[in-house]
C-alpha cells in the first residue's frame, strides 16, 4: 500500500456515481463534510453531472458535458482523467462509494485507476449483487487487496463475512447532520393537513411502494382525510399512480418530485414509512428521526433494527404483510400516548450517529496505518 503523504493533511478522494439523488450519494456528501471537519484534505470525484447535496472539499466533475451515450473511448478518457487527478494531487486514500457489479470494470479500477493508492470500498447495500456482482467470489480478491472495506451496517458486515470470509471489513454507520433541523424550517406548500410520507428513488422492485399503497388503502386512514405522500423520481411513478387508481384512492395519494431538501416535508409528516425489500443503512429513517418525526418500517434484514427501537422511536413490523402494516399506521394515529412517546424519543435515540462520533471512527481508520 502507498504510504500517506508527509504533508500536514492526509489527502482523501471520495468517488461516487453522483453527488445527488440517493441515500448513498447523500452519505458520501456528508462524509466529505465530516472528514473536512476532522482535518483531512478532501476531494470528491463523481461520474454523473447533476444536482449536488451539500459537500466540503475540491470537486472533480467527470460527468460535465457527458453525452447520453458514451463511447468506450469517452469512458476510458474519463477514467484516465481520474487516475491522473489522483496522481497529481498525491491522494493518499480513495474512498469509493460506487455500486460494483461488473468484474472486469472493477478489476480495471483496482489494477489501473487505484494502483498504488490506499483504497477503501464502502458497501451500502445488504444485497451482494449490488457491490459484488452476480459472482461475488470473483470480487473477493479485489476487495481483499483494499486497505479496508467499510460496511454501513453491522448486518452487511456479518453477511459479507459469512459469504466471502473477508477479513478486512469494519462497520462505520452513516451520520446525521444537525443542520437538517435548520433545513426543516424552510417554508413549503404543505401537501395536506395530515399526511404519511415515504420518499426515495421510485424503483418499486427495491422500495416496494406498491406494498405501501396497498397497506394505506387497507388502513382506511384516507377516509379520515389523511393522505399518503410519495416523494421522489424514478421509473415506476406511473405504475404507482395506476395502482392508486385501481384501488380507487388516486386522490388520496400525492406524488411529489425529488428534492435535495426533503426535511420540511419530513417535519410536517405525522410519520415516515420504509417498505423496501432490502437496504443497507436507510438514511430515510435517520433523516426522519433527526428532525423529530417517528417512523414505521418493515424489519428488513439490514438497517432498520439498528436504527429503530420498537415502540420507543418508531414501529418495526416483523412481516411483509399488508394487514400488519396497515394496523401499525392506524396505531400511530389512534394511540396518542404511543405516538407521543416515540416522537419525544426520536432525537435522543440517535446519539451514536452524530457527525462527531462517526468522524472519530473514520479518523482512527485513516490514521492507523497498522490496520
Query: Does residue 148 sit in the same domain as residue 200?
Result: no
Q: Which of 82-91, 160-169, 187-196, 362-371 has the lowest mean pLDDT?
A: 362-371
**Cα dihedral 136→137→141→147 (10° resolution):** 50
Answer yes or no: is pLDDT of 368 > 80.
Answer: no
User: How many domains does one find in the chain?
Assistant: 2
Instruction: State the sign of the Cα–Cα–Cα–Cα dihedral 76, 79, 81, 87.
Output: negative
Q: Residue 210's domain is classified under what CATH number?
A: 3.40.50.2000
Instruction: State the sign of the Cα–Cα–Cα–Cα dihedral 129, 286, 212, 19.
Output: negative
Query: Does residue 164 sit in the same domain as residue 307?
Result: no
Cell of 48: 454523473
CB atoms within 10 A of CB 235: 11
Report pLDDT for 371: 42
**0.95 exceeded by the pTM?**
no
Q: Over the stretch 81-107, which tens digit does the pLDDT of each residue have?
A: 999 999 999 999 999 999 998 999 999
Edge-first strand listing for the sheet containing 11-16: 58-61, 41-46, 11-16, 93-96, 118-123, 148-151, 169-171
On whether residue 5 sits in a domain, the answer given is: no
Answer yes or no: is pLDDT of 1 > 60.
Answer: no
Q: Over the stretch 206-217, which tens digit does the pLDDT of each residue have?
A: 999 999 999 999
CB atoms within 10 A of CB 63: 16
Kindly write down the DSSP assignment for every residue of 130-158, as one continuous string: HHH-S-HHHHHHHHHTSSEEEESSHHHHH
The stretch 18-30 carries a mean pLDDT of 84
Report pLDDT for 222: 97
Query: Does residue 93 sit in the same domain as residue 200?
Result: no
| Sequence-ordered list of residues with C-beta below 8 angstroms from that of 332, at least 6 positions apart, any chain | 270, 271, 294, 296, 315, 338, 339, 342
Closest residue by Cα to residue 49 from 19, 86, 14, 83: 19
Report pLDDT for 52: 81
Which domain range does residue 319 map to?
Answer: 179-351
Report pLDDT for 369: 53
On whether residue 19 sits in a domain, the answer given is: yes
Give, rounded to a whole angstrom, the gap between the first and last alpha carbons of the chain: 12
Query: Does residue 190 sit in the same domain as residue 152?
Result: no
On whether residue 280 sits in a domain, the answer given is: yes
Query: Does residue 125 sit in the same domain as residue 242?
Result: no
Answer yes or no: is pLDDT of 3 > 60.
Answer: no
On whether residue 6 sits in a domain, the answer given is: no
Q: If pLDDT is split at 50, 70 and 90, which confidence band does 315 have? A: very high
- How many Å is the Cα radius of gyration of the chain? 21
On whether residue 1 sits in a domain, the answer given is: no
What's the rounded Cα separation, in Å, for the pair 311 and 341?
A: 8
On whether residue 129 sits in a domain, the answer given is: yes
Answer yes or no: is pLDDT of 203 > 60.
Answer: yes
Q: If pLDDT is split at 50, 70 and 90, which confidence band does 53 have? A: confident
- Count of alpha carbons within 13 angstroms of residue 171, beta-carbon side: 18
Q: Tell me what the pLDDT averaged over the chain comes to.
A: 93
Query: Does residue 347 sit in the same domain as residue 359?
Result: no
pLDDT > 70 in the chain, percent: 97
What's the rounded Cα separation, in Å, for the pair 153 and 26?
A: 16
Query: Does residue 162 sit in the same domain as residue 185?
Result: no
What's the rounded Cα separation, in Å, for the pair 82 and 45?
A: 8
Q: Over the stretch 318-352, which tens digit does the pLDDT of each residue have?
A: 999 999 999 999 999 999 999 999 999 999 999 99
Q: If pLDDT is split at 50, 70 and 90, which confidence band does 370 have? A: very low
On whether residue 3 sits in a domain, the answer given is: no
Q: Over the stretch 240-299, which tens digit does the pLDDT of each residue have?
A: 999 999 999 999 999 999 988 999 999 999 999 999 999 989 999 999 999 999 999 999
Instruction: State the sign of the Cα–Cα–Cα–Cα dihedral 136, 278, 25, 171.
Output: negative
Query: Does residue 238 sit in the same domain as residue 124?
Result: no
Query: Does residue 218 sit in the same domain as residue 283?
Result: yes
CB atoms within 10 A of CB 224: 10
Answer yes or no: is pLDDT of 195 > 60.
Answer: yes
Report pLDDT for 118: 97
Cell of 243: 395502482
Query: Does residue 203 sit in the same domain as residue 299?
Result: yes
Query: Does residue 150 sit in the same domain as residue 95?
Result: yes
For cell 504533508, what's the residue?
7
On whether residue 216 sits in a domain, the answer given is: yes
Query: Does residue 119 sit in the same domain as residue 42?
Result: yes
Amino acid at each position: 500500500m502507498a504510504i500517506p503523504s508527509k504533508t500536514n493533511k492526509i489527502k482523501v478522494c471520495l468517488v461516487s456515481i453522483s453527488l445527488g439523488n440517493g441515500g448513498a450519494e447523500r452519505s458520501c456528501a456528508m462524509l466529505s463534510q465530516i472528514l473536512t471537519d476532522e482535518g483531512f484534505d478532501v476531494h470528491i470525484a463523481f461520474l454523473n453531472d447533476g444536482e449536488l447535496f451539500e459537500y466540503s472539499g475540491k470537486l472533480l466533475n467527470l460527468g460535465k458535458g457527458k453525452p447520453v451515450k458514451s463511447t468506450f473511448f469517452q469512458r476510458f478518457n474519463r477514467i484516465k482523467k481520474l487516475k491522473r487527478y489522483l496522481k497529481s494531487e498525491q491522494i493518499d486514500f480513495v474512498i469509493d462509494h460506487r455500486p460494483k457489479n461488473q468484474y472486469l470494470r472493477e478489476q480495471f479500477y483496482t489494477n489501473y485507476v487505484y494502483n498504488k493508492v490506499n483504497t477503501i470500498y464502502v458497501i451500502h447495500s445488504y444485497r451482494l449483487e449490488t457491490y459484488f456482482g452476480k459472482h461475488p467470489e470473483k470480487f473477493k480478491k479485489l476487495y481483499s487487496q483494499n486497505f479496508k472495506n467499510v460496511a454501513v451496517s453491522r448486518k452487511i458486515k456479518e453477511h459479507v463475512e459469512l459469504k466471502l470470509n473477508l477479513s478486512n471489513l469494519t462497520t462505520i454507520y452513516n451520520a446525521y447532520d444537525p443542520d437538517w433541523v435548520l433545513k426543516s424550517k424552510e417554508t413549503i406548500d404543505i401537501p395536506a393537513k395530515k399526511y404519511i410520507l415515504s420518499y426515495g428513488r421510485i424503483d418499486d422492485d427495491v422500495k416496494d411502494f406498491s406494498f405501501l399503497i396497498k397497506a394505506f388503502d387497507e388502513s382506511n386512514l384516507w377516509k379520515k382525510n389523511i393522505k399518503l405522500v410519495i416523494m421522489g423520481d424514478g421509473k415506476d411513478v406511473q405504475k404507482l399512480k395506476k395502482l392508486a387508481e385501481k384501488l380507487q384512492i388516486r386522490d388520496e395519494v400525492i406524488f411529489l418530485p425529488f428534492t435535495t431538501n426533503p426535511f420540511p416535508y419530513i417535519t410536517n409528516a405525522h410519520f415516515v414509512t420504509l417498505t423496501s425489500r432490502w437496504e443497507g443503512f436507510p438514511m430515510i429513517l435517520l433523516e426522519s428521526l433527526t428532525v423529530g418525526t417517528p417512523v414505521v418500517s418493515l424489519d428488513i434484514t439490514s438497517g432498520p433494527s439498528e436504527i429503530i427501537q420498537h415502540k420507543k422511536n418508531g414501529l418495526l413490523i416483523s412481516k411483509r404483510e399488508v394487514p400488519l402494516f396497515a394496523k401499525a399506521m392506524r396505531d400511530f394515529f389512534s394511540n396518542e400516548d404511543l405516538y407521543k412517546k416515540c416522537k419525544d424519543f426520536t432525537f435522543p435515540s440517535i446519539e451514536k450517529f452524530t457527525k462527531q462520533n462517526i468522524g472519530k471512527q473514520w479518523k482512527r481508520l485513516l490514521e492507523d496505518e497498522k490496520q
